[in-house]
Amino acid sequence: MFDTDLAGDLRRSFAAALDHEDPVQARSALVDAGWLDALAVDDAMAVALVFREQGRLGCDAAALDDVLAARLGIDEVAVAYPVMPGVHVVLPAHRHATRLLWVPDLSGDTLTVVDLDGDLDAQPVGGIDPAGGVLGFAARPAGTVTVVDGAFWSAALAAGRVALAHQIVAGAHVLLMLATAYAQDRRQFGTPIASFQAVKHRLAETVVAIAAADASTLAAATTRSVTAASLAKTLAGRAAEVAGRNCLQVFGGIGFTSEHDFHRNFRRSLVLDRLLGDRRTLERELGAALRTGALVGEHIVDLADIPIHHDPLRWRPPGK
Amino acid sequence: MADPYEGADGLRRFGQDLESWLDEHDASLARRGPGASLHDEVERTRANQQRLWDADWLRYGWPESVGGLGGSPLLRAAAAEAGARRGLFYDTVFAVTEVLAPTVIAAAPGLAAAHITPFLSGGEGWCQGFSEPDAGSDMAALRCRAVDEGDHWVVTGQKIWTSYAQFASKMVLLVRTDTTESRHRGITALLVDMDSPGFTVRPLHAINDVAEFSETFFDGVKVAKDRVIGEVNGGWAIAMDILRSERGGIFWMLSIWLLDELHRLASEADLEPVDDEALGRTFASIAALRARTWTTQHRLAAGGMETPETSIDKILMATAEQDLFDLCRTSLGGVLEFADGDAATSMRSQFMYSRAASIYGGSAEIQRNIVADQVLGLRGA
């Protein structure tokens, strides 16, 4: 386990590594900063540090691929995520990869690793977040295929969902801080719009949604329960939706222009929601599990579970 | 006294030992009977509370000065949850100790040592006299007054929304003791005997068909000078501390109640696949409350949480409770609206009670104001 001082040092070095325009460079810097070693030593804390920073900075070093690979017990690999019928995506930090983990769907059946015959020959998907640059595949590319044991898939999927939840929560928190600072500066009717109760309540509801997702993510990271991981990802998706709706409303017209940062954050959150199960699909699966008696006795988290170390979210915008 | 549940796995060992004891004594602990009245439920809760106190389980987490055995306050939350999970308590009756006692013990150690043990052990009830007809969300507008008559106070005025007042022996009462300009100063907290001359309790029949709340009237009630909790004119801080306890300590217990109700609905309501999404959504709302209160419990125990942040927990609690009972109503095919059996009556009462979750203990609007003003820092924006 890392102590708190080491965690602070790691966070700073991961943040510096992730501060690159090009995701390939960010990935390489992140690996140099010790990400894979940290993942091997204390995965809950390493994942919390890296994915919170990815969310905060709006940068993606394909650390998610490493989380899945570690749980599946395979070497570094780019993961092809199913996102809609006939479309798989690979995170752009892995665009030069030579090995691909092909995930046909989220059931964990017929997982394979493909050692590619040539380069990873794929085009960026346009979609809602062209700047994100994820690569698209219609079918498994050619190469030498090895079957992966699916026994560890549910644990890998849960770990991936927790990692994404960290990233989504941190992204929503950034948006909330921007909107809060904007509401304090933007004046209408001779007063900052933050003085209007209708605006305050939208921002407060966003705090609540983010705090709920934050706590659920910590619970899932602490307990490593598959159910808690699904709940964390669905609540993170819900928090991103709430933040997207309320913060745009606070930004008003300026947020609707491409000159403002709102849309970049919002687009990323929509893409992240689709990775490893979207908010609504997870709710449906959780409901089905409850209805069919698969979750009898499930209480998500116990008082005796000691939360992993994590700095509480700060709710004041920087400089305010 | 050495704390046998000290250390990193202390809570887990406490939980295991308590579960073994509860398993052994389960048959002799009273459960809710069909058609039980509120009076029956209060009696039953206190009887079970006394059993658990006498067997030491409820003494952990309270200081030795009040009859406790010391140790982390988390032990109290663990005991409350274990009891709630087995249906040993009318939860909101049991939870009053968690609302009032931590503040009284901290702010008035002498009063607590002299009076509070029967309250903690289930021997008697206490209640909380805060709201008034004209001081609801705006609590600092309270007008119930205590006049200094030399060797005692004389209290005149009215309180409302006092939970379980008709079953209580003592009240933690907020009164105005000074006419200073600042509304938040000039308020004092007193510990008042309910059998004092001039003190009247009038239960209010609520829309859940239970009279949990009362109006209370003070007609020249004498209160001894040594019954001040904290400082004279320092009552606002006492009230804020109690509200933090109310939002911190109890919601952990309520989260397991909501989760158990959800499991019951899922297993008994003949739900179909088409219901999965709504069921999962409500599950997530309850999980949000449970995870949040889990972090809150640990932060409060470590002393690292301010009162305003607990408003987040209150909003999550009201949301989860209303989501759940809305789902119960719509899933039960008319049972809640038309059936009159014990199960339906009980469910109906809980459904109606859940309507108040966004009103009591600080309305949803006040909580959002607090989050915006004091958590995000928008006060005076």
SS3 per residue for chain A: CCCHHHHHHHHHHHHHHHCCCCHHHHHHHHHHCCHHHHHHHCHHHHHHHHHHHHHHHCCCCCHHHHHHHHHHCCCCCEEEEEEECCEEEECHHHCCCCEEEECCCCCCCCCEEEEECCCCCCEECCCCCHHHCCEEECCCCCEEEEECCHHHHHHHHHHHHHHHHHHHHHHHHHHHHHHHHHHHHCEECCEEHHHCHHHHHHHHHHHHHHHHHHHHHHHHHHHCCHHHHHHHHHHHHHHHHHHHHHHHHHHHHHHHCCCCCHHHHHHHHHHHHHCCCCHHHHHHHHHHHHHCCCCCCCCCCCCCCCCCCCCCCCCCCCCC
Q: A122 CA to chain B: closest CA distance, Å?
A: 35
Q: Does B295 touch chain A (CB under 8 A)?
A: yes
The ipTM assigned to this model is: 0.96
Q: What's the pLDDT at A1?
A: 57
Q: What's the pLDDT at B183?
A: 79
> What's the average model confidence in pLDDT over B132-138?
91
Q: How confident is the model at residue B182 (pLDDT cuts 50, 70, 90)?
A: confident
Q: What's the pLDDT at B303?
A: 82
Q: How confident is the model at residue B6 (pLDDT cuts 50, 70, 90)?
A: confident
Q: B88 CA to chain A: closest CA distance, Å?
A: 18
> What's the average model confidence in pLDDT over B157-165?
97
Does residue B286 have a pLDDT over 60?
A: yes
What does the mean pLDDT of chain A come to?
96
Q: What's the pLDDT at B380?
A: 87
What are the DSSP calls for B117-140, one per residue? HHHHHTSSEEEEE--BTTBSS-GG
Chain A interface test: which of B282, B378, B379 (most A C-beta within 10 Å): B378
CB contact (8 A) between residue A307 and residue B283: no
Please confirm, yes or no, whether B19 is among the known catalytic residues. Answer: no
In A238-297, the residues whose Cβ lies within 8 Å of chain B are: 238, 280, 282-288, 290-291, 293, 295-296
CB contact (8 A) between residue B11 and residue A208: no
DSSP B28: G
Measure Cα distances from A296 to A221, B101, B265 in Å: 21, 35, 12
Does residue B1 have a pLDDT over 70?
A: no
In B9-38, the residues whose Cβ lies within 8 Å of chain A are: 9, 11-12, 15
User: What are the pLDDT digits (tens) for B300-309?
Assistant: 888 878 889 9
Does residue B109 have a pLDDT over 90?
A: yes
Does residue A2 have a pLDDT over 70?
A: no
Distance in angstroms (rounded) separating the CA atoms of residues A167 and A63: 11
Q: Catalytic residue, from B81, B98, B212, B246: name it.
A: B246
Does residue A121 have a pLDDT over 90?
A: no
State percent of chain B over pLDDT 70.
99
> What's the average model confidence in pLDDT over B227-238?
96
Q: How confident is the model at residue B123 (pLDDT cuts 50, 70, 90)?
A: very high
Does residue B236 have a pLDDT over 60?
A: yes
CB contact (8 A) between residue A219 and residue B266: no
Q: B194 CA to chain A: closest CA distance, Å?
A: 36
User: What are the pLDDT digits (tens) for A31-72?
Assistant: 999 999 999 999 999 999 999 999 999 999 999 999 999 999
Chain A interface test: which of B294, B330, B363, B370 (most A C-beta within 10 Å): B294
User: What are the pLDDT digits (tens) for B329-364?
Assistant: 999 999 999 999 999 999 999 999 999 999 998 899
> What's the average model confidence in pLDDT over A118-132?
89
Picking from A194, A200, A219, the nearest residue to B368 by CB comes out as A200
Does residue B184 have a pLDDT over 90?
A: no
Does residue B2 have a pLDDT over 80?
A: no
Q: What's the pLDDT at B307?
A: 84
> What's the average model confidence in pLDDT over A83-106?
96
Phi, psi of A58 (to 5 degrees): 65, 35
Does residue B247 have a pLDDT over 80?
A: no
Q: What's the pLDDT at A7?
A: 87
Does residue A143 have a pLDDT over 60?
A: yes
